[in-house]
Chain A
Amino acid sequence: MTLLQDYVTRQAETRPDAVAVVMGEERLTYGELEEAGSRLARLLRETGCARGDRVCLFVPKCPAAIVAELGVLKADCAYVPIDIASPAPRVEMIVESSDPALILATAPAAKLLDDVLALRPGRQVPVGSLEEPLSGEHFVTAFSGKDIDSQSAGLIPAENSAEDAAHILFTSGSTGTPKGVVIKHENVVTFVEWATGFFGTKESDRVSGHPPLHFDLSTFDIYGTFLAGAELHLVPAAANLMPNKLAELIRSSELTQWFAVPSTFTYMAKFEAFEHGDFPSLERVIWCGEVLPTPILMHWMERLPHASFTNLYGPTEATIASSYYTMPEIPASETEPVPIGVACTGEELLVLDEKLQPVPPGEIGDLYIAGVGLSPGYWRDEEKTAAAFIPDPRNPGERIYRTGDLAKVREDGLVDFLGRADSQIKSRGYRIELGEIETALNALDDIRECAVVGVETGGFEGTAICCAYAPANGASVAPPAIREQIAKTLPSYMLPARWVVMDALPKNVNGKIDRRSIREHFEAEATAEPSRQTAADTAGR
């Protein structure tokens, strides 16, 4: 039985001086990481954290955040990584739902934490700092880095089993409340053991840590690297704005593995951030999270013939990824779709009809996932869990997860992804329920009715979020003012990029808002304004 923290312990025992985590000038060896994690775990126990408790992490991506994750696991608790770029009301919902025994913070998140705690003044939850002591109007840290350092660094025997939760990752919920996906140690262990075997990850690898820590993709970077005893190179969030900086990081850190969401690939390609034969150390290029446009993939493959290219597919509920497809060659044409491939070991992709019967090859059905990756369900939400994780029709003792994706199985057995069956979209790798955005808009007094739709723009962001609204009687509010108001409750990646103000939204015969006609409005606008969709091409000239 393996727990995630065991990977670090093993490396620390045999190769304590090997580098585990790098960011900028900062680096931690496996020995340092192991000791720092054990010290933190001891203090967490002393502060009252018990097995199974949750600890929220208000920490930006940095080596200290990795220590925090490890320390929480070693204390037999589960961590909840907080997106510190999110507005306080949304973070408050996540803190309230996770019901933490403790909050760990560092200075960059202190203001957000204070704002979050202000929203529920009665909450009694201790806050610990990983570095210098912190305080705000609503909290004072109960301990700081000095107290962590004074703990003994000896290994703490684990009480957890691989069946226990390692982390809870919150994703967009269609009614406006984020939902927490519970991930067990064994969910991650089975994936990273498959993946490091499949990719041949080795001690000399230098692996990118690109996705934010509240994305489940980051757990592949972290625990896959530690399993292999390789180096994890964390990519600072700010570098994402500058495609040339991302390229420079791959080049100068001599990364051997680059794993990111497709919008990053598109961004770097459109800006011509790298040349033919660039990144000579790079062995593997991997993407996940949404469809990578074939022309962009061809751009990468043509310039980096020395690297392999693998598409991973899978929702958070099935842990990191459930299927894979490694490109056998550069696609022959820009219109050739890239399949999501075949299931990883221990997992299954099922394409079923509405009666949960398999559809014949070539026909479109709903995509379900079965096997070792399945989360036990949504945190403290039996209803949502029961709706999404249903009994396996072939074996009612087992479960299958309804992804909400549409797919078909090809004659050759490979699976193709064909879009969504509901109003969830992917934009720049973020999974967004359009209903969450509508809920925020409908909460405004100035809005009488609204509809938020996703439109494929051909641009690099994937799906553009488009909003049509009708102001309340007498109100005259322009999109910038509406945008500013919902930015107080929604993270920036959920803010609509395109807007239209109408006297009344179009309705269909049933009196419901006609979303198709609204979508057509934005599609027509994108076609009429070529500058919109080709902005990235032109800017990269």
Chain B
Amino acid sequence: MAGDPGVSERVQQLFLETLNVQVPSEEADLIESGLIDSLALVELLFAIEREFSVSLPLDDLEIENFRSVNRISEVIVGAQA
């Protein structure tokens, strides 16, 4: 389910708590704006796996999947299915 409001809100909360990053919007480009770098990505992956009890294997790592809060939320929902 793309754009599940509960999931994307929790993802934004993870950005705030884990990375101290206030995401401007659910569609904001996190890569272009530099809000995600390699360090942030590692912390974020860990936080997502813990928060949502999902596993995001390396082979699924695509930059596009982390481009926005909405994309990340879709990946989480997909991994939960």
Contact = CB atoms under 8 A, between A and B. Distances in A.
Contacts of A263: 38
A540 B58 contact: yes
B53 interface: no
A535 interface: yes
Contacts of B59: 244
A479 B21 CA distance: 8
Interface in A13-45: none
Q: How many A residues touch the partner, as a band?
A: 35 or more
A204 interface: no
B46 A480 contact: no
Contact of A241 (B47, B49, B63): B63
B37 A539 contact: no
Given A238-B31, A499-B20, A273 B38 contact: no
A483 B58 contact: no
A243 B20 contact: no
A271 B61 CA distance: 11
Interface in A85-111: 85
Interface centre among B37, B39, B41 (most CB of A within 10 A): B39
Contacts of A539: 42, 45-46, 49, 56
A241 B38 contact: yes
Given A242-B61, A480-B20, A480-B21, A267 B46 contact: no
Interface in A240-261: 240-245
Nearest to A240: B38
A481 interface: yes
Given A241-B66, A481-B22, A271 B58 contact: yes
A262 to B, nearest CB: 12
Nearest to B15: A480
Interface string B1-40: 0000000000000001001111000000001001111110
Contacts, number: 74
A370 B35 CA distance: 40
Given A497-B39, A535-B46, A85 B34 contact: yes
A480 B16 contact: yes
B20 A538 contact: no
Contact of B22 (A240, A243, A480, A541): A480
Contact of B61 (A244, A479, A493, A531): A244
The secondary structure that dominates the B interface is helix
Nearest to A465: B39
Interface string A485-508: 001000111000101000000000
B45 to A, nearest CB: 4
Contacts of B47: 535
Contacts of B50: 531
A541 B20 contact: no
Contacts of A290: none
Interface residues of B, number: 28
B20 to A, nearest CB: 4
Contacts of A273: 58
B34 A483 contact: no
A296 to B, nearest CB: 14
Contacts of A238: 31, 63
Contacts of B20: 479-480, 483, 499
A299 to B, nearest CB: 15
A461 B21 contact: no
Interface in A410-437: 428
A535 B22 contact: no
A479 B45 CA distance: 21
A272 interface: yes
Given A240-B38, A241-B41, A272 B22 contact: no
Contacts of A336: none
Nearest to B65: A242
A298 interface: no
A460 interface: yes
Contacts of B16: 480
A460 B46 CA distance: 14
A67 B24 CA distance: 37
Contacts of B37: 241, 428, 492-493
A85 B32 CA distance: 9
A485 B44 CA distance: 22
Interface string B39-81: 1011101110110000110110111001000000000000000
A484 interface: yes
Contacts of B35: 492
Given A492-B34, A531-B46, A531-B50, A484 B39 contact: no
B37 to A, nearest CB: 6
A461 B66 CA distance: 20
B47 to A, nearest CB: 8
Interface centre among B34, B35, B42 (most CB of A within 10 A): B42
Given A242-B63, A272-B58, A461 B39 contact: yes
Interface centre among B20, B31, B46, B55 (most CB of A within 10 A): B20
Interface of A: 85, 238, 240-245, 263, 267, 270-273, 428, 459-461, 479-481, 483-484, 487, 491-493, 497, 499, 531-532, 535-536, 538-541
Closest 9 CB pairs of A and B: A535-B46, A539-B45, A492-B34, A480-B22, A479-B20, A539-B46, A536-B42, A461-B39, A480-B20
16 contacts: A241-B31, A244-B61, A245-B63, A263-B38, A428-B38, A459-B42, A479-B20, A481-B22, A484-B22, A491-B34, A492-B35, A497-B39, A531-B46, A535-B47, A538-B46, A538-B49
Given A273-B58, A540-B58, 9 more contacts: A241-B31, A244-B59, A460-B42, A480-B16, A483-B20, A532-B43, A535-B42, A535-B47, A539-B49
